[in-house]
Amino acid sequence: MHVDPKQALGGFLTRRPWLVPLLLLLLLTLLALLDPREPRTPFLTTRPVSALDVLGSIEPNPENPVESVLRVQWNTFLDANAYEVRFFSLDMQEVSRHPAGTENTVMLDLQQVWKPVAPARAILWRVVALRDGEDVAASSLQTLRLP
């Protein structure tokens, strides 16, 4: 009497259907234990947390109504001893930084802000809170479009 191994195995697995998932689980566990890669670590970032609410607007210059200024305002961040406004081109290249000291608002000449990205009609910006020159918090990235 000759027994076909495929039929014997099929009959064995038919009587014990729970055996296939168990064998797969054991195989995957064994492969995970034999994996030479280092265990994954959670993604940590050194970027500052988003903790500042900001508002930016284009307004007429009070000293010269023909010109426009960019007014940027933000809330206070307790650990900060200075702030700065950073501007980026649309391809995320930093184009300028404007220190604001301890103030929560700054007015900038619109032409100077736009000059590094001209002829683009939009610029990206954020406010960064600093503690002894190090970034401790930042607003989310904002977009400002020319009218």
Q: How many domains does the chain have?
A: 2
pLDDT at 44: 44
116 DSSP 8-state letter: G
- Is residue 138 included in any domain, yes or no? yes
Residues in the chain: 147
Which tens digit of pLDDT belongs to each residue from 46-64? 455 556 788 888 888 878 8
Q: How far apart are CA 126 and CA 52, in angstroms?
A: 9
12 and 62 assigned to the same domain: no
Confidence of residue 94 (pLDDT cuts 50, 70, 90): very high
Residue 3 has pLDDT above 70, yes or no: no
Does 43 fall in a domain?
Answer: no
User: Is pLDDT above 80 for 88?
Assistant: yes
The predicted structure's pLDDT at residue 10: 63
Residues 98 and 138 in one domain: yes
Q: E strand or H helix at 14, and its extent?
A: helix 5-15
Write the CATH number for 140: 2.60.40.10
Residues 67 and 137 in one domain: yes
Within a domain: residue 70? yes
State how far the alpha carbon of 17 is from the alpha carbons of 13, 14, 30, 106, 112, in Å.
6, 6, 21, 71, 74
Residue labelled with tokens 């200024």: 69
Lowest-confidence pick of 17-26, 87-96, 103-112: 17-26
Asked whether the predicted pLDDT for residue 144 surpasses 80, the reply is yes
Share of the chain above pLDDT 70, in %: 79
Tokens of 65: 């109504």
pLDDT reported for residue 6:
59
- Whether 41 maps to a domain, the answer reads no
Residues 73, 139: one domain?
A: yes
| Statement: residue 142 has pLDDT above 80 | yes
Residue 45 belongs to some domain of the structure:
no
Predicted TM-score (pTM) of the model is: 0.63
126 shares a domain with 63? yes
Burial 92-125, CB ≥16 within 10 A → b, else e: eeebbebebeeebebebebeebbeebeeeeebbb
SS3 115: helix
* Structure token pair of residue 142: 């904002």
**Host domain of residue 18:** 5-34
Pair 113, 57 in one domain: yes
Q: How many other CB atoms are there within 10 angstroms of residue 126's CB atom?
A: 21
Based on the domain organization, do 73 and 116 belong to the same domain?
A: yes
Residue 140 and residue 85 share a domain: yes
